[in-house]
Chain A
Amino acid sequence: MNALWPKQSMSQTELEIVVDDPTAPEDDSPSVVSSGTIEIVVCLLLLALAVTLGYDNWRTGASWDSTGPEPGYFPFYLSVILGGGSLYGLIVALLARHAASGTFVTRAQARRVMAVFVPTLLFCLVMQFLGLYVASFLLISGFMRFVGKIALWKSLLTALVFTAIMFVTFDVAFDVIMPKGPLEAAFGR
């Protein structure tokens, strides 16, 4: 039984709801990376961002002129604060490096996160070319079928119904127009 959560039963009494998660990440899965390491990486990235933005604001003008502070003044000092904060965070994280630091993500967790992140990424990509509705149909049916191992007809039906509801709600009822890619002409809107 390798289904991802569709297994459910109303066992024992009618008053009980039971949903299983057979592919849940195992508790003893090895750590991929520690929180300490990620903290160091994040602080370095933020530091780089602070330097870049700080430089750009300094270039724009971060001092005072006759009318008051120049456009770069406020963000320049914010970059300084951000830089200071991340530098401090970096030092704290480096000093704590040898102490036992928690697990950022285990291998089993990473696998599950990727199982939803990669389809989301593909969805965003497909949306650029085929529009939102086609992409959402593909995402929902594909995710339910391949990640959730739910019956094909259920996956297709759910995806179709959900996409149709979204179309009616946004494009028709509330006049919020979504990109439709090559289907644009078919809907005539």
Chain B
Amino acid sequence: MEAFGLLLHGFAVLLTWKTLVLMMVGLVLGIFVGVLPGLGGPNGVAILLPLTFTMDPTSAIVMLSCIYWGALFGGAITSILFNIPGEAWSVATTFDGYPMAQQGRAAEALTAAFTSSFIGSLVAVLLITFLAPMISSFALKFGPPEFFAVYLLTFCSFVGLGREAKHKTVISMSLGLLLAGIGMDTVSGNLRMTFGSPELLRGINFLVAVIGLFGISEILLTMEERLALRGHAASISLRVVLGVWKDLPKYWATLLRSSFIGCWLGITPGGAIAASFMGYNLAKRFAKDPESFGKGRIEGVFAPETAAHASGTSALLPMLALGIPGSGTAAILLGGLMVWGLNPGPLLFVEHKDFVWGLIASMYLGNVVGLVLVLTTVPIFASILRVPFAAVAPMIVVSCAIGAYAIQNAMFDIWLMLGFGIVGYVFKKIGIPLAPFTLALVLGNRAEDAFRLSMIGSGGDLKVFWSNGLVGSITTLAIMLLFWPMIDGLLTRLGRRQRS
């Protein structure tokens, strides 16, 4: 039980006043971000990242990850009380959460949501605690070809498994990889794609792009909607909380199933959104009376919330163990690691024990504290929605600008942010997914380095990606995933033609 000892060490790192205060600040900011329209997990983390630039990496990651937990909790509040999902992954929570609120059972629904979030995260954190060190020690044996194969698998699974039109995922990903290559080439030192512009010499900073893509574009998109809202304000009493908790064992199958789905989709790039819908649909399918779903059934809150949080949390597993983020937010945290001077990858577990175990310990503590915090402060956070959006919108714009400028102290980045804001707005409206773009932008240079180092090692022979069983099977799997939809589509089309 080496992990257990290290985890205790992590708690020791965590239990200082400064870290605990940062944790609380992070959670409150996170819930705030989750509740407000036009802000969400990824952009909240991206905008607040500059706050952490002068901190030591452990405090920084504790605060940022707490913002993330807070945002996950906050998303449920608006879904249940106002029927407005603060986040895409809380859409499924509205199906039964809002009807419950209409029936005057808002407190019950909120307690169910927060509790199941907590359970989902807890399962995922347990998984991270015991699995991540194993994976990372296994990955220490990886050379450049293995790493490139894993990157390839990540990229290909986005294309093959994504629900968007395939060519749009390909466009989004290749654009991200290309933009990542702008600036000085890390291997040869040559300049690439800078067209003589000194501003482009630095390259396009990943975080600036994210702030524009998610922050600015989200404001533009939010403005298009009708912003009127009508909902219930609820306060949660201890009696309701205990009542819901007493019934928890009845729903063990739903909770377990959703946790499993969430963890699986979080580690693979399926994401929290898919997980929440899948959790909901499966709970409905396994229920004896599926028609009662959508009319205010508490299981309809348990299922998607557990899955979304298990997924959101376990997305950090591949990030910690391999340096490959499982979600957009994890990608931003990865960007943070680089800013703080850490090198993401399996060596993190060896070289930065304090950091890794401090983070894992903060996941446990952050979720407990977060649960207590949301249960006691729901009315305050719900009333944030009374603040007119006309005041919130410019404040978000200012926060985005501060975030974008602070990363490299460059005025040019403000314009880049605005440009990416427009790109994000247009892409979202015509269905080009942003997650592969984000992932490609943060992983681009590492993937290219791995590729080139493999090529240099093998003397330019592509067979290096099949040189042993491990790398060979990862590469083959990646290519199969990439081409599967095409083959599948061709077969169906042929079949249809034959029939007609």
Known contacts A17-B230, A74-B451; A5 and B389 CB within 8 A of each other: yes
Among residues of A, the one whose C-beta sits closest to the C-beta of B425 is A113
Bound form: Cα–Cα A76–B192 in Å: 11
B220: which A residues are within 8 A, CB to CB? 113, 116-117
**Chain B 397-420 residues near chain A, CB threshold 8 A:** 397-399, 401-402, 405-406, 409, 411, 414-415, 418
B360: which A residues are within 8 A, CB to CB? none
Question: Judging by beta carbons under 8 Å apart, are B167 and A104 in contact?
Answer: no
Q: Which of A17, A124, A127 lies in contact with B386, CB distance below 8 A?
A: A17
**Chain B 215-246 residues near chain A, CB threshold 8 A:** 216, 219-220, 223-234
User: Which secondary structure dominates where chain A touches chain B?
Assistant: helix
Q: Which of B219, B391, B418 lies in contact with A140, CB distance below 8 A?
A: B391
Question: Judging by beta carbons under 8 Å apart, are B178 and A179 in contact?
Answer: no
Q: Which of A24, A85, A132 lies in contact with B401, CB distance below 8 A?
A: A132
If A78-B178, A84-B170 are given as contacts, then 20 extra A-B residue pairs at C-beta distance below 8 Å, sorted by A number, are: A6-B388, A16-B230, A17-B385, A19-B227, A19-B388, A24-B226, A53-B178, A71-B187, A71-B190, A74-B451, A75-B181, A75-B192, A85-B170, A109-B223, A116-B219, A124-B401, A140-B394, A147-B390, A150-B388, A166-B402
* B295 located at the interface, meaning its Cβ lies under 8 Å from any Cβ of chain A in the complex: no
Known contacts A68-B460, A116-B393, A127-B414; A74 and B448 CB within 8 A of each other: yes
**What 6 A-B pairs have minimum CB-CB distances, sorted nearest first?**
A148-B390, A21-B228, A24-B226, A68-B456, A82-B174, A136-B398
B55: which A residues are within 8 A, CB to CB? 174
Bound form: Cα–Cα A123–B396 in Å: 12
* B282 located at the interface, meaning its Cβ lies under 8 Å from any Cβ of chain A in the complex: no
Query: Chain A residues in contact with chain B, CB under 8 A?
Result: 4-6, 8, 14-21, 24-25, 35, 38-39, 42, 46, 49, 53, 56-57, 60, 64, 67-75, 78-79, 81-82, 84-86, 88-89, 92, 104-105, 109, 112-113, 115-117, 119-121, 123-124, 127-128, 132, 136, 139-140, 143-144, 147-150, 158, 162-163, 166, 169-170, 174-179
* B338 located at the interface, meaning its Cβ lies under 8 Å from any Cβ of chain A in the complex: no
Question: Judging by beta carbons under 8 Å apart, are B223 and A112 in contact?
Answer: yes
A8: which B residues are within 8 A, CB to CB? 386, 388
A127: which B residues are within 8 A, CB to CB? 401, 411, 414
Q: Which of A6, A15, A82, A139 lies in contact with B171, CB distance below 8 A?
A: A82
Question: Judging by beta carbons under 8 Å apart, are A79 and B455 in contact?
Answer: no
* B177 located at the interface, meaning its Cβ lies under 8 Å from any Cβ of chain A in the complex: yes
Question: Judging by beta carbons under 8 Å apart, are A72 and B50 in contact?
Answer: no
Question: Judging by beta carbons under 8 Å apart, are A69 and B455 in contact?
Answer: yes
Identify 24 residue pairs between A and B in the complex whose beta-carbon atoms are under 8 Å apart, listed by A's number: A5-B227, A19-B227, A19-B228, A19-B386, A21-B226, A21-B227, A21-B228, A35-B430, A46-B171, A49-B175, A53-B178, A56-B192, A56-B193, A71-B187, A85-B170, A105-B224, A116-B219, A116-B397, A120-B421, A136-B401, A162-B395, A163-B398, A174-B55, A176-B406
**Chain B 168-185 residues near chain A, CB threshold 8 A:** 168, 170-171, 174-175, 177-178, 181, 185
Question: Judging by beta carbons under 8 Å apart, are A175 and B224 in contact?
Answer: no
Question: Judging by beta carbons under 8 Å apart, are A166 and B190 in contact?
Answer: no
User: Which secondary structure dominates where chain B touches chain A?
Assistant: helix
A64: which B residues are within 8 A, CB to CB? 460
Among residues of B, the one whose C-beta sits closest to the C-beta of A89 is B167
Question: Judging by beta carbons under 8 Å apart, are B231 and A69 in contact?
Answer: no
Question: Judging by beta carbons under 8 Å apart, are B388 and A4 in contact?
Answer: yes
Bound form: Cα–Cα A120–B418 in Å: 8
* B383 located at the interface, meaning its Cβ lies under 8 Å from any Cβ of chain A in the complex: yes
Question: Judging by beta carbons under 8 Å apart, are B192 and A166 in contact?
Answer: no
Question: Judging by beta carbons under 8 Å apart, are A178 and B405 in contact?
Answer: yes
A19: which B residues are within 8 A, CB to CB? 227-230, 385-386, 388
* B9 located at the interface, meaning its Cβ lies under 8 Å from any Cβ of chain A in the complex: no
B219: which A residues are within 8 A, CB to CB? 116, 120
Question: Judging by beta carbons under 8 Å apart, are A42 and B426 in contact?
Answer: yes
Question: Judging by beta carbons under 8 Å apart, are A123 and B397 in contact?
Answer: yes
A92: which B residues are within 8 A, CB to CB? 165, 167
Q: Among the interface residues A35, A85, A139, A144, which one has the most CB atoms of the partner chain B within 10 A?
A: A85
B190: which A residues are within 8 A, CB to CB? 60, 71
Known contacts A69-B452, A175-B54; A140 and B398 CB within 8 A of each other: yes
Query: Chain B residues in contact with chain A, CB under 8 A?
Result: 50-51, 53-55, 81-82, 165, 167-168, 170-171, 174-175, 177-178, 181, 185, 187-188, 190, 192-193, 195, 216, 219-220, 223-234, 382-383, 385-386, 388-391, 393-395, 397-399, 401-402, 405-406, 409, 411, 414-415, 418, 421, 425-427, 429-430, 432, 448, 451-452, 455-456, 459-460
B385: which A residues are within 8 A, CB to CB? 17, 19
B459: which A residues are within 8 A, CB to CB? 68
Question: Judging by beta carbons under 8 Å apart, are B390 and A144 in contact?
Answer: yes
B177: which A residues are within 8 A, CB to CB? 75, 78
B470: min CB distance to chain A, Å: 23
Bound form: Cα–Cα A73–B234 in Å: 59
Known contacts A16-B230, A139-B398; A178 and B406 CB within 8 A of each other: yes
Question: Judging by beta carbons under 8 Å apart, are A81 and B174 in contact?
Answer: yes
Q: Which of B170, B233, B399, B402 lies in contact with A81, CB distance below 8 A?
A: B170
B228: which A residues are within 8 A, CB to CB? 5, 19-21, 24
Q: Which of A21, A109, A158, A174 lies in contact with B51, CB distance below 8 A?
A: A174
Among residues of A, the one whose C-beta sits closest to the C-beta of B82 is A17
Bound form: Cα–Cα A140–B394 in Å: 5
A88: which B residues are within 8 A, CB to CB? 167
Among residues of A, the one whose C-beta sits closest to the C-beta of B457 is A68
A164: min CB distance to chain B, Å: 12
Question: Judging by beta carbons under 8 Å apart, are A179 and B405 in contact?
Answer: yes
A147: which B residues are within 8 A, CB to CB? 390
Bound form: Cα–Cα A97–B82 in Å: 38
Bound form: Cα–Cα A67–B452 in Å: 10
A148: which B residues are within 8 A, CB to CB? 388-391
A139: which B residues are within 8 A, CB to CB? 394, 397-398
A74: which B residues are within 8 A, CB to CB? 181, 448, 451-452
Question: Judging by beta carbons under 8 Å apart, are A79 and B398 in contact?
Answer: no
Q: Which of B167, B223, B391 lies in contact with A116, CB distance below 8 A?
A: B223
A113: which B residues are within 8 A, CB to CB? 220, 223-224, 425
Question: Judging by beta carbons under 8 Å apart, are A75 and B178 in contact?
Answer: yes
